[in-house]
Structure 1
């Protein structure tokens, strides 16, 4: 930035299009811009993304991910982990455990994403369930487990896909770029602050309207899907056991042909597990594609997400969502 007399949007754009630049930089610059023009909505949004969210009030849906409930049970001559249907829990647990909320600031999210990419064993996030929540889970277990002996729950945890840390970054980077480009088209890419303030009320309302159509309009509310503002949808037309239909779907995302051939070979030799989860090779392939997307390698669509790729691959196995 030159000084308090003008704000250069191009510097923010340069940060956003460089996938190696931390999101803290464009967020801080836009927070500074919000303070210069006294736009509280822009200040609040950037501050929360920088420092993290303190509550679920006005919590953005792109920071939520679906999660599963796993309980460790023990009985006569048996001890094992089992998945418990969250929908069978009594209120408010049936709703409260459906989603994982990522409250952390952007630097922590970037750190978690980096650790996940460096260590493939960190593909999932585990969060322990407090002891006081075990009794209602025990009730559900007694309904779904048929045995002559008593089974007791020892402990439980929720499990979420750690790809959400990549997805949050991708969402914020894409939406911020859209926001800044819209502001630039309206006010120019070198905004004169004093000139802006001459009609501050109207100009800030214009920026708020732009934010409502870019930042706040997050699509279908599932960060592991693509949202309704992108060109890619989750309604794939993949035929069970048809490799060519899978390849056709993946080509829509601009994934490189050699990577498409690789996953085509993987799905023909690797099966889903008993819980319809993807095998290790398929999961590693998804990680590789997301890593390429984050680094700007190739022409992979920015709308590509972990869930989108997993849905496409599971479509080959005949699993519909």
Structure 2
């Protein structure tokens, strides 16, 4: 069973994702894990560029609706729009939507009773007018993203948080303090833990930690001590055997 209150709070939804990310950001800083710290910070304040957005924040959609005039006569509202009227160049720009906003703004997209989120694409009304030869005049255009996408993305963020905290607790104990005191932890252990989180949880391509050779002084010391220990243990075993057999001992 987990010992840390933060883990139980995440599982039971007693703490917001933003608070959990803040806690993880502090711990990542203690561990000098730049990848983990950057991920937590980006989720908290938003991603600085679309190229940095992780895959779970990518939504692909060519579902569009529009309100306007159809066949230059009929006024319509929120009816499906054939994506072909937007043209391939526009579709290449907007079919893959990358959400860069902060975690709180991302969560807010789930507000409301609608089953979908509609992104405003009215800026492309002229493209539709041109490609339809004036047959469709759009007052507004919306791109439809199902809310299940946002729910799945938030579940992935929660999963990554939980996995990170479970691994950290397994290695460093209870996490109820603000951070982790790693002053007495071997550097090799910290490097290994950071690698396991970055590659296994964040799925970042990082090089595994370099296996450092044991210092020569340690090897020499062990080569001297090991035979002594073996001899002492052997001598004790002989004495015990002689005692059990009733033989005289030296």
Shorter chain as normaliser: what TM range?
A: 0.5 to 0.7
* Residue 28 of structure 1 pairs with residue 22 of structure 2: yes
Residues 172-224 of structure 1, C-alpha deviation per residue, up to 9 Å, x if partnerless? 1112112222333344446541123x416x6235313322222237xxxxxxx
Q: For the residues of structure 2 that align with 1:86 and 1:77, how far apart are their CA atoms?
A: 21
Q: For the residues of structure 1 that align with 2:93 and 2:74, how far apart are their CA atoms?
A: 30
Q: State TM-score, norm by structure 1.
A: 0.53
* Residue 77 of structure 1 pairs with residue 73 of structure 2: yes
Structure 1 equivalent of residue 227 of structure 2? none
Instruction: Name which of 101, 111, 114 aligns with 2:98.
Output: 101
Q: For the residues of structure 1 that align with 2:92 and 2:136, how far apart are their CA atoms?
A: 25
Q: For the residues of structure 2 that align with 1:199 and 1:106, how far apart are their CA atoms?
A: 32
SS at match of 1:169: helix
Query: Aligned Cα RMSD in Å?
Result: 2.9
- Structure with greater Cα Rg: 2
Distance 1:194 1:11, change over 3 A: farther
Q: State TM-score, norm by structure 2.
A: 0.65
Structure 2 equivalent of residue 182 of structure 1? 167
Please list every run of 5 or more consecutive structure 2 residues that lacks an aligned counterpart in the other structure: 205-250
Instruction: Name which of 175, 195, 206 aligns with 2:184.
Output: 195
Q: For the residues of structure 1 that align with 2:21 and 2:42, how far apart are their CA atoms?
A: 10
Distance 1:86 1:212, change over 3 A: farther
Contact 2:4 2:174 in 1 (8 A): yes
Contact 1:88 1:94 in 2 (8 A): no
Q: For the residues of structure 2 that align with 1:136 and 1:192, how far apart are their CA atoms?
A: 58
Contact 2:68 2:137 in 1 (8 A): yes
Distance 1:192 1:77, change over 3 A: closer
Structure 2 equivalent of residue 215 of structure 1? 202
Contact 1:15 1:25 in 2 (8 A): no
Structure 1 equivalent of residue 13 of structure 2? 19
Matches within 5 A, 1:121-200: 122-131=114-123, 133-142=124-133, 150-189=135-174, 192-196=181-185, 198-199=186-187
Distance 1:9 1:50, change over 3 A: farther
Shift of 1:139: 4.3
Distance 1:88 1:186, change over 3 A: farther
Contact 2:129 2:137 in 1 (8 A): yes
Instruction: Name which of 22, 38, 44 aligns with 1:44.
Output: 38
Shift of 1:56: 0.6
Structure 1 equivalent of residue 235 of structure 2? none
SS at match of 1:213: helix
Residues 271-309 of structure 1, C-alpha deviation per residue, up to 9 Å, x if partnerless? xxxxxxxxxxxxxxxxxxxxxxxxxxxxxxxxxxxxxxx
Contact 2:30 2:181 in 1 (8 A): no
Distance 1:211 1:192, change over 3 A: same
SS at match of 2:203: coil
| Count of paired positions | 196
Please list every run of 5 or more consecutive structure 1 residues that lacks an aligned counterpart in the other structure: 1-7, 143-148, 218-321
Q: For the residues of structure 2 that align with 1:94 and 1:112, how far apart are their CA atoms?
A: 23
Contact 2:129 2:135 in 1 (8 A): no
